[in-house]
Each structure stands twice: as structure tokens, then as C-alpha cells.
Amino acid sequence: MTSSPCKPAPKPPLRIGIAGLGTVGAGVVKLLRENADLIRARAGRELVVTAVSARNRTRDRGIDLSGIAWCDTPEELATHPDVDVVAELIGGAEGAARLTVTRALENRRPVVTANKALIAIHGAELACTAQAAGVPLMFEAAVAGGIPAIKTVREGLAADRILKIGGILNGTCNYILTVMHETGRDFAEILSDAQKLGYAEADPSTDVDGVDTAHKLAILAGLAFGRPVVFASVYIEGIRRIGALDLQFARKMGYRIKLLGIACQHENGIEARVHPCLVPQDAPIAEVNGVFNAVVAEGAFAGRLMLEGRGAGEGPTATAVCADLIDIARGSAMPVWGCAADSLTQAVALPSKSFTGEYYLRLNVEDRPGVIADITAVLRDNGVSLRSMLQHADAHEVRPDGTHAVPLVLLTHRTNEAAMQHALHHIAELPAVLDEPVLIRIDAG
């Protein structure tokens, strides 16, 4: 007689407390309900929202919240008797978000968060708190929305030595640069359109000044290199100074301009930087357009891989949050940074002046003899070798004071960041250089 396999005893539901019922929080509630059968099968138990906290209890969020307990403050979820795991979806590195996560971990409650700023700035401290409490801290939704970037780096590439990681990590900037490339319109005009379409916030500083990308890069670099990156050590530069003319020059030279986050491990430390880059038009990352994100990792054994998808929004981000909740329901969780705190490396953060690369330099100069000779002399004196030069005759202008101005673009061979910045300072002081120079790094893509 063949015995039937034993069925495991059914597990009780995983009771979830959600802090923050904005776009993502409401999306999590919807997804858990609409895909309840599928999620139950994959989690091995039911996932149920039992308590929530939000600033406005009366706002219509398009979801039925009857039967769910309300907490006056989000930190109350950390000790609520009907909550097994806290999903922090408030946002921000300080205040209620940090307090809620810290208290939940201290009370041995697993935490799932979509809060990139919190993890980027306080991730090392929170990892120690989670490890001491013996509970998971999960943050798949903190980087690139629905792209499974965290799982890919921390689990899929766990056996490999990652050499480089980064990519296009902000949909707002990618949308602006894409439309500038396609239409020839300037930054300010496209930003205004992006705000009307909901792709950019009323205050877009965190996005367009590169801070959002830097938060995500710091997290990816911490996972890739086994060391939480000190956020203040990340070099950050945004896209405000990129003009339509730069996109035109880039197209002529066979490049696209993208805001990239790039982190590399060197023998002497970790390099982490965010800035606009010229990438070859035939590079896969050059074809990632609109609000899409792309995460690129390069492993010593696995080689190069790229993941592309929507980096924000209700659906993609809620999907990532729920993936972490399913892992917790099954009892599957990795250490925050991929290994125990005492196994983390002590690699130092490299200063920006140590970076090396090729550069694009755009100058608006007075159209008269000797100007190019003066500029190339400064580059020569600083050890910067010139690869090529391009002028845009159609962009010639006569300024109100009668000065004839013309844009000039220079491409350099590989050089040191410190040397390039020193040369740039002296070039800007030349009488014939009429506006502040625009400097863009060149990346192989």
C-alpha cells in the first residue's frame, strides 16, 4: 500500500501592518486582495492587512479599509498585538519612518520598506538592529520599483565577485533627457511638462539633482561590495545644466546622454558616483528611454547583465513590497547586506578626485583668432590630452554687447578627474570663455 505524502499543518495568516497609505501603500492592499489566491500558494499561507496608519483617515483611496485597525501614529504598529510584520511606506530618512522601522526591529517584528533614503543613510545602523533582534529587514522596493534588483545582486549573484554596478535609476531624469533628445527642447520646458504629467514632483530637486539616484546607488553598492556605502561619500551631480545643444552634439558624435549611477570596486577602495554620461548610441543602456530604469551589474564570472523595467509607480513598487512579504511568510530572508555584520569588508570610499575617464567639454567662446590655442594650452599644461573637437556653426549668436559667440565641444582622452577639474577652473577664467563650461563624463555604456 502506498502512503500519501503528509500534508504540513496549515500556517496561520501573516498579519501585516502598513505605515503609509499613499500610492504604494494603497497599491499593496489592492495587490494582496486581487492576487490573494496566487500569493497564498506562493507564500504557503495567507497574507492579510490587519492594521494601518496614515495621516488622513477620511481620504478616499479607492480601497475598502473596513475591518482593519487604525493606529494614530505609525510607530504604534511596532507593538500592535495583531501585527506580525510592519511595511513602512511613509518615506524620508528621518522622523516617523525611521522611528517606526527602528521600533519594529527592536520589538522583533520583521520590516519591509520601500524607503531608499532611509536604507541609504541609516542602513548600516538598521542592519545591526535587525541582526541583534534576529529578524529580517527587506527593501526590494527601495531600488528600481518592480525590477528585482536587490534579489538579483544579493541572491542571484551571491557566489560572484561584482566589479561594477549601477545604471539608470531615476525615471524622472530619464524621461526628461529622452524627450530633450527626441524634440530638441530645453530642460526647463520638459521639466514643466513632466510635472503636469505626474512624472516629476512639484519640487523636483531630489530627482533632477541626482540625490534619488545616489540613494539607490548607495544601496546597490553596499550589496554588491559587502559594505554599506557612506552616503556622504557618493559624488552627486544632476542634469539641470544639460542643454538641448548638448543633446545635439551628442547625437552628432554617436552618443546619448543619460544620468547614471556608477559604483566600482578597486584594489584601494570603492568608487561611487552619480552624474550625466555620454554613452554610445548602440549600447543597450542608451536604448532605455522614458520613465524606464535599468540596473547593470558586472560580475567576474557571470559577466555583464542588465535588468530593465518601470522604476516607480503603484503597480511595480507594490509588487516588490509583496515579494518581500512572501519571503517573510515562508521564513526566507537574507542578511541586510548579504552577509553578517562581522563579515562586511572595510573598503574605503575613494574621493572624486581619484576618478579617471574621458570627458566632453562644451564651451561658449568668443569667435576670434587664438581662442582655441589658449584653451588647448590650458589642457596641455594640466596633462589633459585632446581627442577631438567639434563646432556648431548654426548655433553662432551675436550677443547684445556685440560679441560673436560660438559653441565649442572638446573630447578628451582618458585622464584624471583632479587634472580635468583643475584645467576646467583655468579655462573658465579665460576672457574668451563667455559662460560657465559644461562638463560631462563619457561612459562605455
In this predicted structure, what is the pLDDT of residue 334? 85
Do 110 and 154 share a domain, yes or no? Answer: no
Do 175 and 125 share a domain, yes or no? Answer: no
In this predicted structure, what is the pLDDT of residue 267? 86
**The dihedral of CA 347, 349, 351, 356: what is its sign?**
positive
In this predicted structure, what is the pLDDT of residue 166? 96
The answer to whether position 345 is within a domain reads: no
In this predicted structure, what is the pLDDT of residue 409? 94
The answer to whether position 427 is within a domain reads: yes
End-to-end CA distance of the chain: 63
pLDDT in tens, 86-143: 999 999 999 999 999 999 999 999 999 999 999 999 999 999 999 999 999 999 999 9
CA 283, CA 294: separation in Å to the nearest integer?
Answer: 12
Q: What distances in angstroms separate CA 302 from CA 161, 262, 311, one per listed residue? A: 9, 18, 24
Q: What distances in angstroms separate CA 349 from CA 124, 237, 369, 419, one per listed residue? A: 15, 17, 44, 20
DSSP 345-390: --PPBPPGGG-EEEEEEEEEEE-STTHHHHHHHHHHHTTPPEEEEE
**CATH code for the domain of 190:** 3.30.360.10
Do 190 and 302 share a domain, yes or no? Answer: yes
The answer to whether position 121 is within a domain reads: yes
Q: How many alpha carbons fall within 13 Å on the CB side of residue 312?
A: 21
In this predicted structure, what is the pLDDT of residue 192? 93
Residue 119 is inside which H or E element, if any?
helix 116-133
The domain boundary residue, chosen from 275, 309, 343: 309
User: What is the phi/psi pair of residue 156, to 5°?
Assistant: -65, -30
In this predicted structure, what is the pLDDT of residue 5? 61
Q: Is 309 within 8 Å of 302 (Cβ atoms)?
A: no
Percent of the chain's residues with pLDDT above 90: 76
The domain boundary residue, chosen from 248, 278, 309: 309
Structural domain harbouring 179:
149-309
The answer to whether position 50 is within a domain reads: yes
Show the CA angle centred on residue 168, arms to residues 166 and 169, nearest 5°. 85
Give me the residue label for grid cell 567639454.
Answer: 361
CA 385, CA 380: separation in Å to the nearest integer?
Answer: 7
In this predicted structure, what is the pLDDT of residue 7? 67
Residues 27-33, mean pLDDT to the nearest whole number: 95
The answer on pLDDT for 261 being more than 80 is yes
In this predicted structure, what is the pLDDT of residue 1? 47
In this predicted structure, what is the pLDDT of residue 2? 52
In this predicted structure, what is the pLDDT of residue 303? 95
Lowest mean pLDDT among 24-28, 98-102, 234-238, 342-346: 342-346
Do 19 and 134 share a domain, yes or no? Answer: yes
Do 109 and 158 share a domain, yes or no? Answer: no
Number of domains in the chain: 3
What is the DSSP secondary structure assignment for residue 141, as one 8-state letter? G
Q: Nearest to residue 79, comparing CAs of 53, 54, 60, 61?
A: 53
| pLDDT confidence band for 4 (50 / 70 / 90) | low
| pLDDT confidence band for 404 (50 / 70 / 90) | confident
The answer to whether position 367 is within a domain reads: yes
Do 95 and 185 share a domain, yes or no? Answer: no
CA 218, CA 214: separation in Å to the nearest integer?
Answer: 6
Residues 41-45, mean pLDDT to the nearest whole number: 93
Do 126 and 216 share a domain, yes or no? Answer: no
Do 130 and 189 share a domain, yes or no? Answer: no
Binding site feature residues for NADPH: 116
Do 128 and 182 share a domain, yes or no? Answer: no
In this predicted structure, what is the pLDDT of residue 225? 92
The answer on pLDDT for 53 being more than 70 is yes
Do 272 and 420 share a domain, yes or no? Answer: no
The answer on pLDDT for 155 being more than 90 is yes
The answer to whether position 334 is within a domain reads: no
Quickly count: other Cβ atoms within 10 Å of residue 3's Cβ.
5
Which residue in the list 216, 252, 258, 353 is annotated as catalytic? 216
Mean pLDDT of the chain: 92
The answer to whether position 276 is within a domain reads: yes
Residues 368-390, mean pLDDT to the nearest whole number: 93
The answer on pLDDT for 429 being more than 80 is yes
The answer to whether position 38 is within a domain reads: yes
**CATH code for the domain of 107:** 3.40.50.720
The domain boundary residue, chosen from 291, 309, 327: 309
In this predicted structure, what is the pLDDT of residue 445? 67
The answer on pLDDT for 176 being more than 70 is yes
Catalytic, 216? Answer yes
Residues 349-358, mean pLDDT to the nearest whole number: 90
Binding site feature residues for NADP(+): 19-26
Residues 33-39, mean pLDDT to the nearest whole number: 95
pLDDT in tens, 292-331: 999 999 999 999 999 999 888 888 999 999 999 999 999 9
Do 292 and 417 share a domain, yes or no? Answer: no
CA 54, CA 90: separation in Å to the nearest integer?
Answer: 9
Do 62 and 128 share a domain, yes or no? Answer: yes
Query: SS3 string of 268-327?
Result: CEEEEEEEEEEEECCCHHHHCCCCEEEEEEEECCCEEEEEEEECCCHHHHHHHHHHHHHH
**CATH code for the domain of 406:** 3.30.70.260
CA 71, CA 54: separation in Å to the nearest integer?
Answer: 8
